[in-house]
Chains A and B, each alone.
Chain A
Amino acid sequence: MIRMLLRVLGHQYAQAMRRTVILMTVTAIAEGLSYALLVPVLRALLGGAPADAGPWLIAFGAAVAVYAALRYTSDLSGMRVGTTLLRGMYHRLGEHLARLPIGWYSADRVGEVSVMASRGLLQTMGVAAHLLAPFVSALVTPLTIVAVILAFNWRLGLAALAAAPVVAVIQRWTARSMAATDAERHERDKEATGRVIEFLQAQPVLRAGGRTGERFTLLDDSLQELQRASRRTVLSALPGAVGLTLTVQAIFTAVLVLGAYLALGGNIGAAEVLTILVLAARCADPLLSLSDIGGKLRGARSELARLDEVLRTGPLPEPREPIQPERHDLEFASVTFRHGDRTVIDDLSLSVPQGQRLAVVGPSGAGKSTLLQLLARFYDVDSGGVRVGGVDVRAITTETLMAQIAIVFQDVYLFDGTIEENVRLGRSDAGEAEVRAAAAAARLDEVIERLPGGWAANVGEGGALLSGGERQRVSIARALLKNAPVVLLDEVTSALDPVNEAAVHEGIERLMAGRTVVMVAHRMRTVRRADRVVFLDGGRIVEEGRHDELLRRGGRYSDFWGISMTPVAGE
Chain B
Amino acid sequence: MNATDLAEAREKSTPPDAGSAAGQSLAGLLRPYGWSFAAVVLLQVIGAVAGLAPLLAVVELGRALLAPGPIDHGHVWTVVIAGAVGLFVRLLFTAASSGLGHVLDGQVQLTFRRQLAARLGRVPVGWFSRRRTGELAKVVGEDVSAVHPFVAHTPGELVSAFAVPLVSLIYLFTIDWRLTLITLIPVVLAVSLVPLLMLPARLREQEEFDAAMGRIASSVVEFVQGIAVVKAFGGSERAHRTFLTAADDFVSVFSRWVRGMSVVAAGMQLALSPPFVLLVVLIGGAALITSGGMAPADLLPFLLLGLGLTAPVAALGHGFDDMQAARRAVGRIKEVLEVRSLPEPEQPVAPRGHRVELRDVRFGYDDDHEVLRGIDLVLEPGTVTAIVGPSGSGKSTLVQLLPRFFDPTHGSVVLGGADLREIDSRELYRMVSFVFQDVRLLRASVADNIALAIPDADRDEVIRAARLANIHDRIVELPRGYETVIGEDVRLSGGEAQRISIARALLADAPVLVLDEATAFADPQTEQAVRRALATPGGDRSILVIAHRLETVADADTVVVLENGKIVERGRPAELLAQNGEFAAFWRSHRSAAADETETRAGVLQGDEPR
Contact = CB atoms under 8 A, between A and B. Distances in A.
A364 B495 contact: yes
A122 B73 contact: no
Contact of B7 (A57, A126, A500, A561): A126
B14 interface: no
A132 interface: yes
B2 A126 contact: yes
Pick from A38, A98, A398, A560 the residue with the most CB of B within 10 Å: A98
11 contacts: A31-B273, A97-B224, A114-B220, A126-B7, A212-B122, A215-B118, A413-B226, A469-B391, A495-B518, A502-B593, A524-B597
A206 B121 contact: yes
A78 B117 contact: no
B223 A97 contact: yes
Contact of A494 (B5, B218, B522): B522
A516 B155 CA distance: 69
Interface string A333-375: 0000000000000000000000000000001110000000000
B6 A79 contact: yes
Interface in B49-93: 54-55, 57-58, 61-62, 65-66, 71, 73, 76-77, 80, 83-84, 87-88, 90-91
B147 interface: no
Given A76-B262, A105-B224, A230-B109, A82 B589 contact: no
Given A48-B296, A60-B279, A281-B58, A196 B140 contact: yes
Interface in A427-476: 428, 461-462, 467-470, 475
A278 B250 CA distance: 46
Nearest to B550: A498
Contacts, number: 495
A546 interface: no
Contacts of A86: 3, 251, 254
Interface in B251-303: 251, 254-255, 258, 262-263, 265-267, 269-270, 273-276, 278-279, 282-283, 285-286, 289-290, 296-297, 299-300, 303
Contacts of A461: 218, 221-222
Contacts of A206: 121, 452
Contacts of B266: 71-72, 75-76, 79
Contacts of B255: 83
A100 B289 CA distance: 70
B452 A209 contact: yes
Contacts of A363: 523, 525
B597 A525 contact: yes
Contacts of B367: none
Pick from A71, A208, A406, A566 the residue with the most CB of B within 10 Å: A208
Given A238-B98, A246-B91, A416 B296 contact: no
Given A204-B440, A425-B235, A560-B524, 17 more contacts: A35-B278, A38-B278, A57-B283, A61-B283, A75-B265, A117-B224, A126-B3, A130-B4, A205-B440, A209-B455, A213-B121, A253-B87, A270-B65, A277-B61, A403-B234, A413-B225, A568-B531
Contact of B525 (A113, A402, A468, A563): A563
A202 B133 CA distance: 11
A532 interface: no
Interface string A189-233: 100111111111111111111111101101110011011001100
B283 to A, nearest CB: 7
Given A230-B106, A365-B493, A498-B548, A201 B440 contact: yes
Interface string A101-134: 0100100011101100111001001110110110
Contact of B452 (A81, A83, A208, A426): A208
B188 to A, nearest CB: 18
Nearest to A285: B307
Nearest to A118: B217
B200 interface: no
B109 to A, nearest CB: 7
Nearest to B88: A249
A499 B589 contact: yes
A263 B65 contact: yes
Contacts of A75: 1-2, 5, 262, 265-266, 269-270
A563 B524 contact: yes
A82 B62 contact: no
Given A230-B106, A478-B233, A130 B279 contact: no
Q: Which 5 A-B pairs have the closest CB atoms?
A: A78-B1, A364-B493, A90-B247, A130-B4, A270-B65
Contacts of A467: 391-392
Contact of A68 (B276, B283, B390): B276
Contacts of B244: 90-91, 94
Nearest to A270: B65
B487 to A, nearest CB: 8
B117 A528 contact: no
Contact of A129 (B4, B65, B236): B4
Contact of B1 (A74, A482, A568): A74
Interface stretch (B28-36, B347-355, B425-433): B425-433
Contacts of A497: 390-391, 518, 548
A571 interface: yes
B359 interface: no
